[in-house]
């Protein structure tokens, strides 16, 4: 029986190493230019099936054109029993919660359908949403969030959703078991750098799989030993 893993999956990155553009805000949650990183995913049948209400707007392809990209997109949701998110991934609110009106970017039914653990410095009561997603707000740090997520996942994997700063914390601690990066043919020049200053080989990571997709090039990095 395989052990449950902490995995980064379908994380889109620019050619120059940025996981989001600069000046993230409510209108541009991925920062300036950041949405271009995700075009490969938005055009996959996996995305279209998850979000049929917006698939037509982004030109999603249900005709099988995005074969390689879709294979990686679909793998990203297999055997996931819980998620961990940084607070910025949950929303644009900074500092103490002024109230509990902000319930995420995703509407009444977020796309997770499992428990989601949000890293924050400010406590908040759990938030139950439609579709079996409940957000839990963890103030005790990354190890505590991972412990709770692994318990909630019940033997399945935990997916680390990001953002870049959160992934960097878990990488530096050697806690990420597997990471799938989708490198888009986009240059941002600035924004949130993912791997800068992190010596992956010294931390025991190696690239174990790579494939050229239709809209991105995919790399899988595993932790060895």
Q: How far is CA 11 from CA 8, 14, 108, in A?
A: 7, 10, 24
Q: Residue 26 has which token pair?
A: 């409510």
**Would you call the peptide bond into 163 cis, given omega within 30 degrees of 0 as the criterion?**
yes
pLDDT digits (tens, 9 = 90+) for 5-61: 999 999 999 999 999 988 877 778 788 888 999 999 999 999 888 876 565 555 545
Q: Can you count the helices (H) and strands (E) in the chain?
A: 7, 11
Name beta bridge partners: 135. Answer: 116, 127
Q: Residue 158 pLDDT more than 60? A: yes
Whether domain 6-21+30-91+109-223 has CATH 3.40.430.10: yes
Nearest-5° Cα angle at 115, 111 to 159 = 75
**pLDDT given for residue 1 in this prediction:** 46
Closest-CA residue to 155 (of 12, 2, 46): 2
Name beta bridge partners: 183. Answer: 13, 217
Can you tell me which residue has the tokens 């439609």? 130
DSSP 3: P
What is the biggest distance separating any 2 CA atoms in the chain, rounded to whole angstroms? Answer: 46
Q: Beta-carbon neighbour count of residue 186 at 10 Å?
A: 20
- Integer-rounded Cα Rg, in Å, for the chain is 17
Q: What is the mean pLDDT of the chain?
A: 90
């Amino acid at each position: 029986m395989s052990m449950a893993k902490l995995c980064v999956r379908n994380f889109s990155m620019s050619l120059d190493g940025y996981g989001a553009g600069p000046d993230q805000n409510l209108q541009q949650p991925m920062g300036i230019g950041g949405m271009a990183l995700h075009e490969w995913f938005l055009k996959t049948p996996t995305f279209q099936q998850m979000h049929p209400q917006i698939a037509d707007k982004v030109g999603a392809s249900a005709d099988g054109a995005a074969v390689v990209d879709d294979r990686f997109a679909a793998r990203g949701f297999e055997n996931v029993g819980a998620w961990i998110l940084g607070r910025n991934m949950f929303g644009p609110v900074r500092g103490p919660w002024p109230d509990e009106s902000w319930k995420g970017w995703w509407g009444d039914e977020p796309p997770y359908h499992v428990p989601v653990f949000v890293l924050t410095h400010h406590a908040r009561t759990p938030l139950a949403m439609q579709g079996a997603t409940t957000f839990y707000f963890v103030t005790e740090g990354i190890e505590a969030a991972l412990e709770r997520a692994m318990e909630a996942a019940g033997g399945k994997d935990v997916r680390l959703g990001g953002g870049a700063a959160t992934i960097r914390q878990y990488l530096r601690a050697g806690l990420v078991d597997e990471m799938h990066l989708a490198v888009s043919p986009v240059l941002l020049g600035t924004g949130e750098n993912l791997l800068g200053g992190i010596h992956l080989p010294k931390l025991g990571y190696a690239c174990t799989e790579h494939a050229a997709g239709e809209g991105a090039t995919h790399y899988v990095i595993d932790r060895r030993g």
